[in-house]
């Protein structure tokens, strides 16, 4: 049997919000660990889980990594209330985590059992002494320790733990309202979706698909990405709105000057996404834009594209470098899906020289050449909502060449 201690994330929230935060984390936790037979002990600022021997702790850790709002978790060891015994039992765990050179270290103690004869400071001091005698590579550093031994003396026993697994931190999904993620098959937007969830937003996703102009496999990527993201969502479910974009896409390719194709394509997406957000009471659009990454993400481009938005727009990645985004994509396990080689509407037939400083009045003048209002209406009407669950794969690619065919 293993005992796990879970700590909350950003508990700087006050009053009612804090209560709600804890309640939401609990709900997510119960749902994400429902497949195990665990015992839960809820305390004000922490949660204990008892894991039976039949379940590997790593598999519980994996599920905990999908609970947004959890700050960290540790395996806690139970021991008699005897400092010599605590030191002896803690030493092997400390040895596992120390480096080959001198490692800054401290002991942090709490004395919940006030009848214990030493104060918490005295406990820490005595334990440090016992441990340093056995592991000379440790060196006490109260301010910047690399390794911390945490000890708690309680009524029934003493508890200690050495290492912490870091959780997502942030806030539990759903506490901060709802947003609509513009999800492409690329690397960035799934990462943006995750960051929005970890800041407490529940999400729907929207994808603009141009089959048969583009391959259905590019839509499959988006379905599969949504499935991975659903691990973090309440009920492990995310709604994916799939918008047929081929008509508008072709209209743009045929009638808009090259330099403005990308700008106007993005304006059409934003118009539709913004209308969808209003229709479904989603409070913000969320996308994977990062300043300066490509021509459509200069400040002038963003300004011109989002002039047509009626919604608040959040860009979690706006200041991220590509390597930071890649590291997150790998951690989330979205990366291998994102790099599957299928082009979507934003990468196919891309003009060689898109404008990096498009202006609104010119975009508008070009748009007047195409009957886009009606086309947008039709696209919204024909949008299909897929409910994607983390444990259910939806295979579109083998069922047809277009989304319409595949969903028939």
Name the strand (E) or helix (H) holding 374: helix 372-381
Question: CA-CA distances (angstroms) from residue 139 to 88, 91, 107, 146?
Answer: 18, 14, 11, 10
Task: Please choose which of Mg ion, ligand ATP, none residue 173 contacts, taking the beta carbon within 5 to 8 angstroms, the exact cut-off set by kind.
Answer: none
Q: Is the dihedral of CA 55, 61, 66, 70 positive or negative?
A: positive
Are 29 and 6 within 8 A, CB to CB?
A: yes
Strand locations in 93-217, DSSP E? 103-111, 138-140, 147-153, 158-161, 165-166, 178-182, 202-209
Q: Is the dihedral of CA 189, 194, 200, 205 positive or negative?
A: positive
Report the residue from 124, 128, 168, 189 that binds ligand ATP according to the rule CB under 6 A. Answer: 189
Of residues 229, 242, 223, the one with CA closest to residue 190:
229
**60 or 192, CB closer to Mg ion?**
192
Task: Please choose which of Mg ion, ligand ATP, none residue 293 contacts, taking the beta carbon within 5 to 8 angstroms, the exact cut-off set by kind.
Answer: ligand ATP
What is the closest distance, in whole angstroms, from the C-beta atom of residue 270 to ligand ATP in the complex? 9
**124 or 287, CB closer to ligand ATP?**
287
Q: Say how many C-beta atoms besides its own lie within 10 A of residue 219's C-beta.
A: 26
Interaction with ligand ATP in 280-309: which residues (CB under 6 A)?
287-289, 293-294, 296
Residue nearest to Mg ion (CB): 186
- Which residue has tokens 């004869």? 117
**51 or 286, CB closer to ligand ATP?**
286
**118 or 294, CB closer to ligand ATP?**
294
**120 or 293, CB closer to ligand ATP?**
293
Cis peptide upstream of residue 212 (ω within 30 degrees of 0): yes
Report the residue from 172, 174, 186, 358 that binds ligand ATP according to the rule CB under 6 A. Answer: 186
**132 or 348, CB closer to ligand ATP?**
348
Are 173 and 200 within 8 A, CB to CB?
A: yes
Task: Please choose which of ligand ATP, Mg ion, none residue 68 contacts, taking the beta carbon within 5 to 8 angstroms, the exact cut-off set by kind.
Answer: none
Q: Say how many C-beta atoms besides its own lie within 10 A of residue 146's C-beta.
A: 15
Of residues 49, 105, 113, 121, the one with CA closest to residue 81:
113
Q: Write the binding mask 19 to 58 for ligand ATP: x where contact by CB under 6 A, - elsewhere.
A: ----------------------------------------
What is the closest distance, in whole angstroms, from the C-beta atom of residue 293 to ligand ATP in the complex? 5
327 in helix, strand or coil?
helix
Q: Does 276 bind ligand ATP (CB under 6 A)?
A: no
**91 or 294, CB closer to ligand ATP?**
294
Interface with Mg ion by CB under 5 A: which residues? 184, 186, 346
Q: What is the distance between the alpha carbons of residues 163 and 153, in angstroms, rounded to a whole number?
A: 18
Q: What is the distance between the alpha carbons of residues 228 and 190, in angstroms, rounded to a whole number?
A: 9
Q: How far is C-alpha 124 from the chain's CA centre?
A: 37
Are 284 and 202 within 8 A, CB to CB?
A: no
What is the closest distance, in whole angstroms, from the C-beta atom of residue 344 to ligand ATP in the complex? 5
Report the residue from 68, 71, 128, 188 that binds ligand ATP according to the rule CB under 6 A. Answer: 188
Report the residue from 6, 158, 175, 182 that binds ligand ATP according to the rule CB under 6 A. Answer: 182
What is the closest distance, in whole angstroms, from the C-beta atom of residue 27 to ligand ATP in the complex? 28
What is the closest distance, in whole angstroms, from the C-beta atom of residue 88 to ligand ATP in the complex? 52
What is the closest distance, in whole angstroms, from the C-beta atom of residue 245 to ligand ATP in the complex? 7
What is the closest distance, in whole angstroms, from the C-beta atom of residue 286 to ligand ATP in the complex? 7
Q: What is the distance between the alpha carbons of residues 102 and 135, in angstroms, rounded to a whole number?
A: 10
**57 or 213, CB closer to ligand ATP?**
213
Report the residue from 187, 196, 216, 277 that binds ligand ATP according to the rule CB under 6 A. Answer: 187
Q: Does 184 bind ligand ATP (CB under 6 A)?
A: yes
Q: Which residues bind ligand ATP (CB under 6 A)?
A: 182-184, 186-189, 206-208, 287-289, 293-294, 296, 344-346
């Amino acid at each position: 049997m293993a005992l796990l201690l879970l700590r909350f994330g950003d508990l700087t929230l006050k009053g009612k919000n804090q209560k709600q935060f804890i309640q939401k984390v609990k709900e997510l936790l119960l749902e994400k660990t429902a497949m195990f037979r665990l015992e839960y002990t809820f305390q004000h600022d922490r949660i204990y889980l008892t894991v039976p021997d039949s379940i590997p702790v790593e598999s519980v850790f994996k599920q905990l990594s999908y609970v947004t709002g959890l700050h960290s978790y540790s395996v806690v060891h139970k021991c008699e209330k005897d400092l010599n015994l605590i030191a002896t039992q803690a030493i092997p765990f400390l040895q596992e985590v120390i480096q080959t050179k001198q490692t800054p270290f401290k002991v942090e103690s709490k004395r919940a059992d006030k009848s214990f004869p030493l104060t918490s400071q005295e406990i820490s001091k005595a334990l440090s002494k016992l441990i340093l005698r056995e592991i000379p590579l440790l060196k006490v550093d109260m301010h910047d320790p690399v390794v911390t031994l945490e000890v708690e003396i309680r009524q029934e026993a003493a508890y200690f733990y050495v290492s912490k697994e870091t959780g997502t931190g942030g806030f539990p999904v759903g506490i901060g309202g709802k947003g609509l993620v513009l999800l492409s098959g690329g690397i960035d937007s799934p990462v943006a979706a995750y960051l929005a969830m970890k800041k407490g937003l529940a999400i729907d996703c929207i994808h603009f698909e141009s089959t048969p102009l583009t391959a259905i496999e590019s839509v499959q990527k988006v379905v599969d990405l949504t499935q991975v993201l659903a691990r973090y969502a309440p009920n492990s479910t995310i709604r994916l709105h799939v918008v047929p974009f081929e008509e508008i896409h072709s209209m743009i390719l045929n009638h808009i000057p090259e330099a403005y194709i990308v700008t106007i394509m993005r304006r059409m997406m934003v118009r539709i996404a913004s209308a969808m957000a209003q229709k479904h009471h989603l409070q913000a659009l969320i996308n994977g834009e990062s300043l300066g990454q490509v021509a459509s993400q200069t400040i002038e481009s963003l300004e011109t594209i989002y002039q047509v938005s009626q919604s608040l727009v959040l860009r979690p990645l706006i200041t991220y470098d590509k390597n930071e985004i890649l590291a997150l994509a790998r951690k989330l396990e979205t990366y291998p899906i994102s790099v599957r080689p299928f082009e979507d509407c934003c990468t196919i037939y891309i003009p060689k020289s898109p404008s990096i400083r498009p202006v609104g009045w010119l975009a508008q003048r070009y748009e007047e050449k195409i009957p886009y209002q009606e086309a947008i209406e039709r696209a919204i009407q024909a949008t299909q909502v897929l409910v994607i669950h983390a444990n259910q794969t939806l295979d579109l690619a083998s069922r047809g060449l277009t989304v319409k065919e595949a969903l028939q």
